[in-house]
């Protein structure tokens, strides 16, 4: 009998187990993962301004890359911002977590069923716990109205050094092809780059062949010569336009959810690292009872997060519904012309009332009448139904 079983060995589950082991070492923990490694196949990034000094301190051993600045590039704006940027990847994450949690990790254990007292594995074995937490990543829900930030990426070994001082987190000077499209580049070594073709799109579908061709074309235009492609990664992060959060959690059948499975991510970027850190701290500072107790704790917290993100969902509706697809870049170009501290607070989910007004005032990035139609959440419902059809 375990005190806490995490179904799924992804980012949120492992960060929470790691923090619980630090703060409540007496707990009997188990992380159950169906694959041969923890963390999947991902690169996670965040801004240090997203987190408190104490949070930055305890996650510091997990960070693989640190930069002091980053760039953005648009047709009429190129800018370097002095905000730092941090990244880690799933390979490093797996090695670190196995060292920290190895005796309470179960790999190669596909999960068949989760209920309030147990996790059933393929083959018939049942694991029992006082508290079960489901962290198996996002799942489709009729209660969430979504767009997507989808990406295809390659880690490339170059013939010579690339010369970048820091990441280019958005280069939207490329053809838009019917979405808001940009190239995302992380300099992960003097001659190594992670380059991702990224799109804000109505659907999560990926065209790998076209994306890899686009990456190759972009690399050539930057003057880089590729010696080898080291690895690939791809995904589609959810971007929330609207939804019924109470109904969403009613579908959980009383089983606590964590991470993307609990809609705990930044509504506009889809990034989940900072929120996973905050959730880990929240649970590590809580008295964990049985599954029902923790379900109440986590669902209440996720609903508060959802409520705080209402403004960002409105911005998403403007981007996905009001903005003409090939001109969505203009919305982001205007945003990145604002003050650096405002941009930092936006990504941290801490925008002030003044920030929110500033983002929406001035020369409108979308037509006023189209923007006004996006104010009610019903506009997202109509949009997602139209896209589905």
| CA count, 13 A, side-chain hemisphere, 186 | 20
The fold of 144-240 is Alpha-Beta Plaits (3.30.70)
In contact, 236 and 149? CB cutoff 8 Å: yes
pLDDT number for residue 387:
53
Q: Is the C-alpha dihedral spanning 381, 138, 272, 305 positive or negative?
A: positive
Q: What is the pTM of this model?
A: 0.92
Question: What does the alpha-carbon distance between residue 316 and residue 308 come to, in Å, rounded to a whole number?
Answer: 14
Q: Nearest 5 degrees, angle CA 136-CA 138-CA 144?
A: 145
pLDDT number for residue 236:
92
Letter string b/e over residues 41-54, b meaning 16 or more CB atoms within 10 A of that residue's CB: ebbbbbbbbbbeee
Question: What does the alpha-carbon distance between residue 276 and residue 296 come to, in Å, rounded to a whole number?
Answer: 18
pLDDT number for residue 179:
87
Question: What does the alpha-carbon distance between residue 89 and residue 103 come to, in Å, rounded to a whole number?
Answer: 22
pLDDT number for residue 366:
57
Residue linked to tokens 């020369």: 363
Measured CA distances, 175 to 182, 237, 322 (Å): 8, 21, 20
In contact, 215 and 174? CB cutoff 8 Å: no
β partners of residue 111: 121
In contact, 294 and 329? CB cutoff 8 Å: no
Q: What residue ranges of the chain are covered by domains with CATH 3.30.70?
A: 144-240
* Residue 119: CB atoms within 10 Å: 25
In contact, 132 and 119? CB cutoff 8 Å: yes
pLDDT number for residue 139:
85
Which residues of the chain fall short of a pLDDT of 70? 362-389
Question: What does the alpha-carbon distance between residue 253 and residue 224 come to, in Å, rounded to a whole number?
Answer: 52
- Report which of 366, 369, 292 is spatially closest to residue 332, judged by C-alpha positions: 366
Question: What does the alpha-carbon distance between residue 141 and residue 306 come to, in Å, rounded to a whole number?
Answer: 15
Average of per-residue pLDDT values in the chain: 92
The answer for 263, left when phi > 0, alpha when psi is -120 to 50, beta otherwise, is left
In contact, 12 and 138? CB cutoff 8 Å: no
- Class of the domain covering 2-67+86-142+244-308: alpha beta
Q: What residue ranges of the chain are covered by domains with CATH 3.50.50.60?
A: 2-67+86-142+244-308
pLDDT number for residue 379:
60
């Amino acid at each position: 009998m375990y005190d806490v079983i995490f179904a799924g060995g992804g980012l949120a589950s492992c960060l929470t187990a790691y923090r619980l082991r630090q703060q409540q070492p007496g707990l009997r923990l188990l992380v159950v993962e169906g694959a041969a490694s923890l963390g999947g196949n991902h690169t996670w990034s965040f801004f240090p301004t997203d987190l408190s000094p104490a949070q930055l301190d305890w996650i510091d051993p997990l960070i693989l890359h640190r930069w002091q600045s980053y760039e953005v590039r648009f047709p009429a704006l190129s800018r370097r911002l002095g905000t730092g940027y941090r990244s880690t990847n799933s390979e490093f994450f797996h090695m670190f977590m196995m060292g920290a949690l190895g005796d309470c990790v179960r790999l190669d254990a596909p999960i068949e069923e989760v209920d309030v007292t147990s996790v059933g594995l393929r083959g018939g074995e049942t694991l029992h716990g006082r508290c079960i937490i489901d962290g198996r990543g996002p799942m489709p829900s009729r209660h969430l109205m979504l767009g997507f930030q989808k990406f295809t990426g390659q880690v490339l070994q170059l013939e010579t050094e690339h010369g970048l001082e820091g990441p280019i987190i958005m280069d939207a000077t490329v053809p838009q092809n019917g979405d808001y499209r940009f190239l995302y580049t992380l300099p992960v070594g003097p001659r190594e780059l992670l380059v991702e073709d990224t799109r804000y799109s109505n659907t999560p579908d990926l065209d790998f062949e076209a994306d890899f061709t686009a990456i190759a074309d972009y690399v050539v235009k930057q003057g880089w010569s590729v010696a080898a492609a080291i690895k690939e990664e791809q995904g589609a992060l959810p971007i929330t336009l609207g939804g019924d959060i109470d109904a969403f959690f009613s579908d959980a059948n009383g089983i606590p959810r964590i991470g993307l499975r609990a809609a705990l991510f930044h509504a506009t970027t889809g990034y989940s690292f900072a929120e996973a850190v905050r959730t880990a701290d929240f649970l590590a500072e809580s008295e964990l009872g049985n599954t029902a107790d923790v379900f109440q704790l986590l669902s209440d917290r996720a609903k508060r997060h959802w409520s705080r993100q209402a403004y960002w969902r409105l911005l998403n509706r403007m981007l996905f519904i009001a903005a003409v697809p090939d001109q969505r870049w203009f919305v982001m170009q205007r945003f990145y012309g604002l003050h650096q501290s405002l941009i930092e607070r936006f990504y941290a989910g801490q925008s002030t009332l003044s920030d929110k007004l500033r983002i929406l005032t001035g020369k409108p990035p979308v037509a006023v009448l189209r923007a006004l139609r996006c104010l009610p959440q019903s506009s997202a419902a109509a949009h997602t139904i139209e896209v589905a059809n």
